[in-house]
Amino acid sequence: MKLEILHVPDCPNVALLTALLKEALAGRRDIVIDQREIRDEAEAATRQMAGSPTLLIDGADPFAVAGQSPSLSCRLYADEAGAVAGAPSLAQLRTVLAQGPGQ
């Protein structure tokens, strides 16, 4: 499984997403988390980044919303209770990591 975080320069939520992913992946030494800085709208469109940060699992965004446009803006995620944060919750990450891409 390949994990990649797409983000704009100085995105304050990259550290949060990275920390949550490391907790969700505790004990999994076979998975590397790569980060890719996206600097312009064209690259955001090419990489299908729906805001910063965007997590890709094997190239797919498990939190994609139909009709959502590529963006360099901050991305917000709603958790199980409807609270909004700059990254998915730990529970949401564990679910998508267990399911794999495209689920």
pLDDT tens digit string along 38-54?
999 999 999 999 999 99
Residue tagged 């959502």 (tokens): 68
Q: Which domain holds residue 42?
A: 3-99
The C-alpha atoms of residue 103 and residue 87 are separated, in whole angstroms, by 19
Largest distance between two CA atoms of the chain: 37
Q: Give me the number of domains the chain comprises.
A: 1
The residue among 76, 7, 99, 16 whose CA lies nearest residue 44 is 7
Q: Indicate which CATH number applies to the domain containing 16.
A: 3.40.30
| Confidence bin at 30 (pLDDT 50/70/90) | confident
Q: According to the model, what pLDDT value does residue 103 have?
A: 46
The C-alpha atoms of residue 88 and residue 51 are separated, in whole angstroms, by 13
